Structure 1
Amino acid sequence: MAAIPTARSTGSHGPRRESHRRTDRPEAPARWEPPALAAVLGVATLLYAWDLGHAAIHPYYGAAIRSMATSWRAFFFGGLDTSGSITLDKLPGAFWPDAVSVWLFGPHTWAAALPHVIEGVLTVWLLHRIVRAWAGPFAALIAALTLTFTPVTVALNRATIPDTALTLLLVAAAGALQKAARTGRLLPLIMCGVWVGLAFQTKMLQAWLVLPVFAVVYQLTAGNSPLRTARRLLLSGAVTLAVSCSWALIAWVTPADNRPYVDGTSNNNPFSLVFGYNGISRFSDDGTAFGAVSGTAASRTSGNTGWGMLVNHTVGPQIAWFLPLAVLAAVTALIWRAGEPRSDPLRAGFLLWGGWLAIHAAVFSVSNGNHVYYTAVLAPAIAALAGGGLALFRSAYESGGRRRLWLPSAIVLTVAWALVLDGPTWFVSRLLAFAVIFAVCGAFGLWHGGSRASPRLVRGSLAAGIAATLLVPAGWAVSSLDPRYAGASTSPTAGPVGEVHHRALHHPSAPRRAELDRPSTRDTALLDYLIAHRRGEKYLLATQAAYPAERLLRAQAQPMLVMGGFTGKTPFPSAPQLGNLIATHRLRYVLLTHLRPTTPATTWVKSHCERVRSGAYGWRTRGNFGLYDCRAQG
């Protein structure tokens, strides 16, 4: 590994770089950089794309992806079925790449998951590029490796969940902000607003969490006057707002008869979906803020919250392997660089990524519950801080003095923390033993090396130390390639943690994962019956909530009326609307389930329609469902 150039020194003893200098000219890469980056990206691609034909297709999102791939109305508005009767309970932006992929390659599981693999690999590449411009090639390589082997990142990039796109776009925004502060140009700052706005289209308000951090970092580090900097921030903020709200505004001005009903709302208003159902209701006991309907237990999970959530038994092994190193690096850098000019770019980077980490951790801690995969958005910040921190400590080590002990100490701390995280399960105990050995060898070599040691010994000790920090999280990450250690398709995790894993241990014959175009025998029998008895009705079927419709929509792209939306609580259609559809011969069959709440529409079906014997459509038992024939009402 090449030494950090003097101009990029991160210690306080070396020559200081002129912090007011603005340049956009990248340094020529060292000979080892291109092959090293290529190797990291190759490993990332292999991890994320392994056995992609059996990727973790989210049942609900997978149904919408197939529908969006076959209907422009469903594509733009995020319709759950091909007719676009009701939207997803999320914005459709994150699923547009998935739908395009399915449209291009066909309704295959791997086609739906492929965009997420690409997004994951692009995030690793982009983070490397950003960190290199900020803290040098050594820091960039460590950041790329850390992100690649973050367990929750590997599990998530093998699923069809919006957070992969969110993370990529926010990393792009951070890079644009860094470039704007470094060069003093306006265009990168505008692009930062565009990227955040596009990230909003994938995960809504969560994308805005970074905005206060971005604003503070730019205000402190930009070389312009405070007034000019504030004006530029306001312009970038306006761009962010315009891009963020563009889809909701288009949907709002579109007449209700010309678009799907907006799920998650009681007033058919897309802004209620964004700011109510997916916003305020996440932080209050009243789940009906701003016209939202209340969520289900699945959409408002009550676990993984509080100030210790990032290091608990389930979440910790997914994201927190380098958390102590990241916090130590951020705090140390801010202290060591306290005497630098206000616009010091190195300190600005630690402030940027440290703020990203802190604000997300705080918001997750006070919310009313989080899925484990939400924490994947922390991975780039932790990786950047880990890379920048080791570069900082390495620079101090090469400068000599008492600060040279920080590098081996940081390595020992990180491996010791791995003992804590892995301890409850001892899942990768053999790797942990090797990690301890490597850490001891690396720390000993660095501790007793100093200026008198040969460069080869120092480089070898440092390589051993870095390998020690990566071994255990890599073991957890690789485990997610085995379905037994990958969590649920609705909540991907790595390793032997979570309720899904423990249920699988006691019930090895658990239902298979959701897939596209691979219906079960039971689903095929029901679809065949419905198609055979269809007499020109617009809808093949109406279902009580999305749960009964998901598997049928993944099997075939058919128009289905999903009553009540995802939760079953959305007031669409009303009982009179449902009766009108049946009376005008646009609907005949309705599938009800006791697993979702009763509504006026479902009550109307039970009192006006005839229940069909399960044997008529090839089911030996009814299970949790009941099929009703409403033809007599026509």
Structure 2
Amino acid sequence: MILKKLKNMDWYFVIIILISAILYGWGIWDAGSANSYYTAAIRSMLESWHNFWYGAFDSAGFITVDKPPVALWLMAISAKIFGLHGWSVVLPSVLAGIGSVYLMYQMLTPKFGVWAGRLGALVLTFTPTVVANSRTNNMDAILVFFLLLAVYVLQKAVEKKNIWLVMMSFALVGIGFNVKMLQAFMILPAMLVYYWIAIKVPWKKKILWLGAGLLSLTVFTLAYPVAVDSVDQSNRPYIGSSQHNSLLELAFGYNGTERLLGQSTGTGGAFPGIGTTNNKKSNKVGQQPTGQKNGQPTQQVPTNQKSVTKGTAPSGQAPSQGKAPQNMPTGQAPKDLKKTIGQQPTQEKPSGMRNGKGQKQGGSVGMNNAFAIGTAGPFRLFQSDLGSQIGWFLPLAILGIIAGWFGYRKRNSKWYTISEEQRHVILWSAWLVPVYGFFSIAGFFHPYYTIMLAPAIAALTAIGAAATHKMYQNSSAKTRIFAKSLISFGIVSTLALQAYYVWSYYPMISIALIIVAIILAIWWWLGERLFAKMRLVISIIAICVMAAWWSFTPTLSHNSAAIPFASPTLLTQGGSDSMGSQVDAQLLSYTQQRQGQAKYLFATTDSNSASGYIIKSGEAVMALGGYNGTDPTMTLSEFKQLVKSGQVKYFVMGNKGTSSSGQIGKILSWVQKNGVKVNYSKNKQTNNQNTMGQGQNSQLYDLSTIYQ
């Protein structure tokens, strides 16, 4: 029995799964703190069920992170089982990435053949942003897995004509909402269209089942947010990044409309520079101008971040990939985590890597590319900012829509008759087109969000290849010419686009790609059956080789970044984590020794200024203004009462100390006016150097004497 199963096993697919496991999992033992914002929350969630349920950022349960906690629950469970390490909090994303590859194969193989399933799985595996996302503790890889699972279950529901499977599929989207909110709803048009055209039941039953599915979606979407918002605000944490302490507001505001229109909540205006880079006048990515907007100070990006203009490779330091502490008991603070953050062996730069001007190029990662999203418009996803992460196979996916539609049409049928294969083309097209449209015009997102396009691109590429092969084998001369035209244009357009992405780093390889594209196009047109198998193998290798190399860069560099992306810049030298995992040992020691009965080790301006201290010490650190440093978590009078009662003795003016207004700004002004500056450092010259997060000056204030 076992030998028979082994014999029938698809070993090509097994190899693809192994490749995905290596790409996503190799080197995660050097994950350090990964995204320290979420790692700090996981550390705090291990302290109590209360913190676990709400996804509290700090162990005192003062404030939550800016997302629902479903993905964090999985990460916290992993940390509970294996201990709190960088690799243990990243592990759920690794498994989700591998699971997505498996689901892609399972969805394509039954309708389009085993080679389509293999190709779809391979394309998904070699999509750079999929690799980068699957190696960090951000939520996107887990979200994509839930959404693919929802579509897989819907396909089974259509096949089996089962109402319970219909309800389950929409329920999974609701769970996805509680992973990353409205981002999960991006696939609803695809699911609704596919359900309506694919399921073969009487129309009354079809409507009834759809209503049941939407009811299931509503229940699983709103159950958690409504439950949280219904709790008295004094008995739960403040909802991070919301303006009115509401999870529903967070979903439809900060994580909803502001992603499309541009972020403005709590910042005094949208982030400048987002979506406005162009060839004529490039705004510096990741850097914001100082000054006023709408009468309020604009939020400033830390001064040590280097600018990156469109069309050039980023420069600076790579994010930290220090080793996670080993054998750390669950529930205890990792004593040696500080030593493991910001340490990564310096690696040699790949030979021949150059910038767009032909000069040798260094590497910088971390926050530098956080807002490098190109110029809004229909071709934004082809531009180097986003395309280098998601666009490697995009021309093939677009052509796949055409090939799939015409290649699988029913012969001698009426024009409106849709074949079963065409329904799947519509499914993946309805996933691709709305998501493509969103990223083409959206005002605020990070490049790694484009992982939402990866499943549709992989599926349509595979379907297009299968359909083109079907047409190429056709005896009709016109059909064969059409197929050869699609193949030739697909190879040339795809390799030309990849050459554009590669040029800034490897100009000679870029030229080679163009030459290979021309040769292959001619070969497909004139070669007919001359070395047909060799031609096919060379074409697949040519299309995949540089995308595979780009995808391997996070793996080779053991990168698990807060802002995940793939690029040869990761293969340069190591650097510090730009997302707040650094810890000032002297400040930590000083406050720990003098904390006494205070509830909080200290209060600070924002989450990134607090995360490293929470991870290392396990103590409660109050992130007064949440992630942006501007959440209206309390009034000045409420903060004074905390100080007066002895719950807060110290305040650290962290990363966002100069950009807050409103109630938080009043608190910061009061602290600066009434607090006593503390020289906690033995080295007076470095007393005010902030190693908490981004390199700005910081100051420790003693508030305990104000009411004495």
The answer to whether the aligner puts 1:169 opposite 2:146 as a matched pair is: yes
Structure 1 match to 2:362? none
Q: Classify 1:253/1:510 alpha carbon distance in 2 versus 1 (closer, same or farther; 3 Å).
A: same
Q: Classify 1:596/1:105 alpha carbon distance in 2 versus 1 (closer, same or farther; 3 Å).
A: farther
Q: Classify 1:358/1:141 alpha carbon distance in 2 versus 1 (closer, same or farther; 3 Å).
A: same
SS in 2 for 1:561: strand
Which of 95, 102, 109 pairs up with 1:132?
Answer: 109
Q: Write the distance in 1 (CA, Å) between the matches of 2:612 and 2:550.
A: 31
Would the aligned equivalents of 1:221 and 1:342 in 2 still touch at CA under 8 Å? no
Structure 1 residue 232: Cα displacement = 1.3
Q: Classify 1:285/1:175 alpha carbon distance in 2 versus 1 (closer, same or farther; 3 Å).
A: closer
SS in 2 for 1:628: strand
Cα deviation per residue 1:343-367 (whole Å; 9 max; x = unaligned)?
A: 6320111101111010101111221
Structure 1 match to 2:21? 45
Cα deviation per residue 1:384-436 (whole Å; 9 max; x = unaligned)?
A: 11111111111122233232345554444344222333335434554873796
Structure 1 residue 297: Cα displacement = 7.5
Would the aligned equivalents of 2:63 and 2:240 in 1 still touch at CA under 8 Å? yes
Structure 1 match to 2:86? 109
Question: What is the percent sequence identity of the aligned residues?
Answer: 26
Q: Classify 1:366/1:423 alpha carbon distance in 2 versus 1 (closer, same or farther; 3 Å).
A: closer
Q: Classify 1:343/1:186 alpha carbon distance in 2 versus 1 (closer, same or farther; 3 Å).
A: farther
Q: Write the distance in 2 (CA, Å) between the matches of 1:560 and 1:71.
A: 16
Which of 465, 468, 482 pairs up with 1:390?
Answer: 465
Would the aligned equivalents of 1:322 and 1:414 in 2 still touch at CA under 8 Å? no
Give the aligned residue type for 1:229: K
Q: Classify 1:50/1:272 alpha carbon distance in 2 versus 1 (closer, same or farther; 3 Å).
A: same
Which of 302, 305, 309 pairs up with 2:380?
Answer: 309
Q: Classify 1:363/1:335 alpha carbon distance in 2 versus 1 (closer, same or farther; 3 Å).
A: same
Structure 1 residue 523: Cα displacement = 2.2
Q: Classify 1:54/1:439 alpha carbon distance in 2 versus 1 (closer, same or farther; 3 Å).
A: farther
Q: Classify 1:396/1:93 alpha carbon distance in 2 versus 1 (closer, same or farther; 3 Å).
A: same
The answer to whether the aligner puts 1:241 opposite 2:304 as a matched pair is: no
Structure 2 match to 1:626? 699
Give the aligned residue type for 2:496: L
Q: Write the distance in 2 (CA, Å) between the matches of 1:579 and 1:445.
A: 76
Structure 2 match to 1:465? 539
Structure 2 match to 1:13? none
Which of 499, 506, 516 pairs up with 1:422?
Answer: 499
Structure 1 residue 143: Cα displacement = 0.2
Structure 1 match to 2:420? 345
Cα deviation per residue 1:146-175 (whole Å; 9 max; x = unaligned)?
A: 010111111121122111011111111111
The answer to whether the aligner puts 1:369 opposite 2:434 as a matched pair is: no
The answer to whether the aligner puts 1:70 opposite 2:70 as a matched pair is: no
Which of 168, 178, 189 pairs up with 1:201?
Answer: 178
Q: Classify 1:561/1:545 alpha carbon distance in 2 versus 1 (closer, same or farther; 3 Å).
A: same
Q: Write the distance in 1 (CA, Å) between the matches of 2:390 and 2:542.
A: 17
Cα deviation per residue 1:112-147 (whole Å; 9 max; x = unaligned)?
A: 111111111111011111111232211100000101
Structure 1 residue 276: Cα displacement = 1.2
Q: Classify 1:162/1:30 alpha carbon distance in 2 versus 1 (closer, same or farther; 3 Å).
A: same
Number of residue equivalences: 588
Would the aligned equivalents of 2:396 and 2:464 in 1 still touch at CA under 8 Å? yes
Which of 594, 597, 610 pairs up with 2:660?
Answer: 597
Structure 1 match to 2:321? none
Query: Which range moves more in the overlay, 237-246 or 50-59?
Result: 50-59
The answer to whether the aligner puts 1:404 opposite 2:480 as a matched pair is: yes
Greater share of residues in helix? 1
Q: Classify 1:167/1:511 alpha carbon distance in 2 versus 1 (closer, same or farther; 3 Å).
A: same
Would the aligned equivalents of 1:405 and 1:447 in 2 still touch at CA under 8 Å? no
The answer to whether the aligner puts 1:59 opposite 2:125 as a matched pair is: no
Would the aligned equivalents of 2:404 and 2:463 in 1 still touch at CA under 8 Å? no
SS in 2 for 1:66: helix
Structure 1 residue 509: Cα displacement = 7.0
Q: Classify 1:496/1:88 alpha carbon distance in 2 versus 1 (closer, same or farther; 3 Å).
A: same
Structure 1 residue 107: Cα displacement = 2.1
Which of 599, 607, 632 pairs up with 2:673?
Answer: 607
Structure 2 match to 1:330? 401
Q: Write the distance in 1 (CA, Å) between the matches of 2:89 and 2:685.
A: 30
Q: Write the distance in 2 (CA, Å) between the matches of 1:246 and 1:294.
A: 31
Give the aligned residue type for 1:129: Q
Q: Write the distance in 2 (CA, Å) between the matches of 1:288 and 1:401.
A: 60
Query: Which range moves more in the overlay, 399-408 or 271-280?
Result: 399-408
Structure 1 residue 604: Cα displacement = 2.1
Which of 461, 479, 484 pairs up with 2:553?
Answer: 479
Q: Write the distance in 2 (CA, Å) between the matches of 1:441 and 1:584.
A: 76
Q: Write the distance in 2 (CA, Å) between the matches of 1:405 and 1:462.
A: 17
The answer to whether the aligner puts 1:588 opposite 2:649 as a matched pair is: yes
Q: Write the distance in 1 (CA, Å) between the matches of 2:160 and 2:525.
A: 37
The answer to whether the aligner puts 1:413 opposite 2:492 as a matched pair is: no
Give the aligned residue type for 1:632: T
Q: Classify 1:325/1:137 alpha carbon distance in 2 versus 1 (closer, same or farther; 3 Å).
A: same
Structure 1 residue 45: Cα displacement = 0.5
Structure 1 match to 2:12? 36
Structure 1 residue 190: Cα displacement = 1.2
Which of 211, 234, 244 pairs up with 1:257?
Answer: 234
Structure 2 match to 1:120? 97
Q: Classify 1:286/1:174 alpha carbon distance in 2 versus 1 (closer, same or farther; 3 Å).
A: closer
Cα deviation per residue 1:548-597 (whole Å; 9 max; x = unaligned)?
A: 10221222221121101111111112211111111112121111133542
Cα deviation per residue 1:232-289 (whole Å; 9 max; x = unaligned)?
A: 1121111111111221111011111211011222221111111112112223368359
Would the aligned equivalents of 1:156 and 1:492 in 2 still touch at CA under 8 Å? yes
Q: Write the distance in 2 (CA, Å) between the matches of 1:33 and 1:441.
A: 33
The answer to whether the aligner puts 1:544 opposite 2:610 as a matched pair is: no
Q: Write the distance in 1 (CA, Å) between the matches of 2:489 and 2:564.
A: 28
Query: Which range moves more in the overlay, 439-448 or 522-531?
Result: 439-448
Q: Write the distance in 1 (CA, Å) between the matches of 2:110 and 2:16.
A: 18
SS in 2 for 1:615: coil
Q: Write the distance in 2 (CA, Å) between the matches of 1:238 and 1:297.
A: 44
Q: Write the distance in 2 (CA, Å) between the matches of 1:235 and 1:215.
A: 13
Q: Write the distance in 2 (CA, Å) between the matches of 1:460 and 1:260.
A: 62
Q: Write the distance in 2 (CA, Å) between the matches of 1:105 and 1:227.
A: 51
Structure 1 residue 442: Cα displacement = 9.1
Query: Which range moves more in the overlay, 112-121 or 101-110?
Result: 101-110
SS in 2 for 1:217: helix
Q: Classify 1:144/1:33 alpha carbon distance in 2 versus 1 (closer, same or farther; 3 Å).
A: farther
Q: Classify 1:183/1:241 alpha carbon distance in 2 versus 1 (closer, same or farther; 3 Å).
A: same
SS in 1 for 2:19: helix
Structure 2 match to 1:490? 562
Q: Write the distance in 1 (CA, Å) between the matches of 2:488 and 2:39.
A: 44
Q: Write the distance in 2 (CA, Å) between the matches of 1:204 and 1:143.
A: 27
Query: Which range moves more in the overlay, 139-148 or 323-332?
Result: 323-332
Root-mean-square deviation (CA, aligned residues, Å) is 3.1
Q: Classify 1:446/1:102 alpha carbon distance in 2 versus 1 (closer, same or farther; 3 Å).
A: farther
TM-score, normalisation: structure 1: 0.85
Runs (5+) with no aligned partner, structure 2: 272-298, 302-366, 690-696
